[in-house]
Chain A
Amino acid sequence: MCLGIPGKVVEIDAAGSGKVDYEGTRVLTNFALLPGIKPGDWVIVHAGFAITRMNEKEARKTLNLLKEIEAKT
C-alpha cells in the first residue's frame, strides 16, 4: 500500500500500534517510526507503518499557492 493518501490517527495503544481512518476505512498501523504521534494527527501510512506526519500549516500554504496560480490565468 504505497499510494499514501493522508489519514487520521484514531487510536494508539501502549505498544505503538493503532488505527488510521480514511473516510470510514480503518487501517491497522504501526507508529514506531513516529515517536510522539497522537490521535487526531494526520499521517501517511506505507506498508502498515506511519512514516510521516502531515503539517496542516504547510498544506494550507500549498492550497494558497494553487489559488494564486489559478488567479493569474
Chain B
Amino acid sequence: MKKISLEMGSGGKLMRDFLHDSILERFQSPLLAELSDAARLPLGVAFTTDSYVVDPLVFPGGDIGCLSVFGTVNDLVVSGARPLYLSLGLILEEGLESGLLDRILRSIAKAARKSGVEVVTGDTKVVRRGQGDKIYINTAGIGTPVGRPSPGRIRPGDKILVTGPLGDHSVAIMSARGELGFETRVTSDCAPLLFLLPLWKKGALWMRDITRGGLATVLSELAENIPYPLIISEEKIPLSRPVRSAAEILGIDPLYLACEGRAAVIVPEKKADLALREIRRHPNGRKAAVIGEVTSRIGEPGELLLETATGGLRRLEALTSELLPRIC
C-alpha cells in the first residue's frame, strides 16, 4: 500500500500528478481545472486559498504570519483582483508558547492592514503535542476583479519583467534553518504586490508571483500554455550579491529559488517602459527589470530559453523535485 511521501508536497512532478489524478479527476469543475492562482467565480469575485507550514516560523524579514497574508493577497493580485477579505484558520500544537503565537497574530494583523484586507472569519483548533509542527495556518482570500489576465493575447515581442531581485526569501529561510551551515544578512522579500494592480489597466497581459520553484518554474509553466517560446537573459536577472554567492556555494541555480514578494509580468513591448517606471516608483519595485521577451525567431513552442552569461543558449525546465544542495 502506497504512502504519502514528503516529496509529494514539493511542487514537482509528483505533486502535479497528484493534482491531475486525484484532485481534478475527482472534483470535476471547469473552474478548478484552470488551476489558476485564484478562481474567478460567476458571482463576480476572485477566490483563492493557501496553507502555510513554513519552518522556521520566524526568519529574517518576516514570519509565518505575514507570509500567510501576503501569499494569499499576492495570488489575488496576480489574478487581476483587488484583495478585500481573508479567512484565517489556525491549527495550533499543544505546548506552543503564547508569546510566539501573539507575535504571529500581531504580524498577521499588521500584514492585513498593509494589504488593505480585513480578516472576517476564521477558526482555531488545538492538536495534541507532537501532532502538529507548532502552528499551521490556512488563509482563503476574496477579491474584486480589476483586470483580467489574458495569456491568450500574448504575442512575440511582448516583454517579460521581474519586479525585483530573486531568491532572497529562499536564502533567508535556508540560512535561518541552520541546517546548511551558512549565515547571511539576506532578509526575506516577503511583501504585498498591491503596487501591481494599476498595471492591469495599463496593458499587463499576465502576472505570476514567483514562489516555489522560482522564476524558471513560473515561466516554463507559462511557456507550456502559450504558442510561443520565451527567452530570458541571465545577465539581466536581478540578483543581490549575497544571494548569488549563497546559490553558488550551495550549488543551486538562482532561477529556481523561491520568493515571497516578487512577480513576473508580461506586457506588450510598447507598454514596457511605462510599466517598468510604474513598478519602480514603489520601494519594493526599485530593482525591477526587463529580463526577456516572448519570441518567434528562435526555439520552439513550449520552450523557455536562457541566454547564458558565457554566451551560450540553453533550455530551462520547471523544477522537477525538491532543491537539494549538491555533494561531490
Contacts and interface: CB of A to CB of B under 8 A. Distances in A.
Contact flag (A, B; Cβ within 8 A): yes
Interface of A: 1-5, 7, 19, 22-29, 46-48
Nearest to B240: A24
A25 B251 contact: no
Interface string B95-116: 0000000000000000000000
Contacts of B315: none
Given A2-B326, A2-B327, A26 B183 contact: yes
Contact of A22 (B186, B249, B328): B249
Interface string B242-282: 10111011110000000000000000000000000000000
A23 B251 CA distance: 16
Interface string B75-109: 00000000000000000000000000000000000
A48 to B, nearest CB: 6
B327 A22 contact: no
Interface residues of B, number: 19
Contact of A25 (B182, B325, B326, B327): B182
Given A2-B326, A48-B181, A27 B249 contact: yes
Contacts of A47: 327-328
Given A25-B183, A25-B184, A28-B181, 5 more contacts: A24-B241, A25-B182, A26-B184, A27-B181, A27-B249
A25 B181 contact: no
Contacts of B183: 19, 25-26, 28
Nearest to B242: A24
B242 A3 contact: no
Given A25-B182, A27-B181, A46-B328, A1 B250 contact: yes
B249 A25 contact: yes
5 contacts: A1-B250, A22-B248, A25-B182, A26-B184, A27-B182
Contacts of B245: 5, 22-25
Nearest to B247: A25
B232 to A, nearest CB: 23
Given A23-B242, A24-B241, A25-B242, A1 B185 contact: no
A11 B250 CA distance: 21
B267 to A, nearest CB: 33
Nearest to B171: A25
Nearest to B181: A28
Given A22-B245, A23-B245, A25-B246, A1 B184 contact: no
B181 A5 contact: no
Contacts of A22: 245-246, 248-249
A43 B246 CA distance: 16
Nearest to A48: B181
B81 to A, nearest CB: 38
In this complex, the member of B185, B242, B249 whose beta carbon has the largest number of chain A beta carbons within 10 angstroms is B249
A5 B245 CA distance: 9
Contacts of A46: 328
A45 to B, nearest CB: 8
Given A26-B184, A28-B182, A48-B181, A1 B326 contact: yes
A24 B327 contact: no
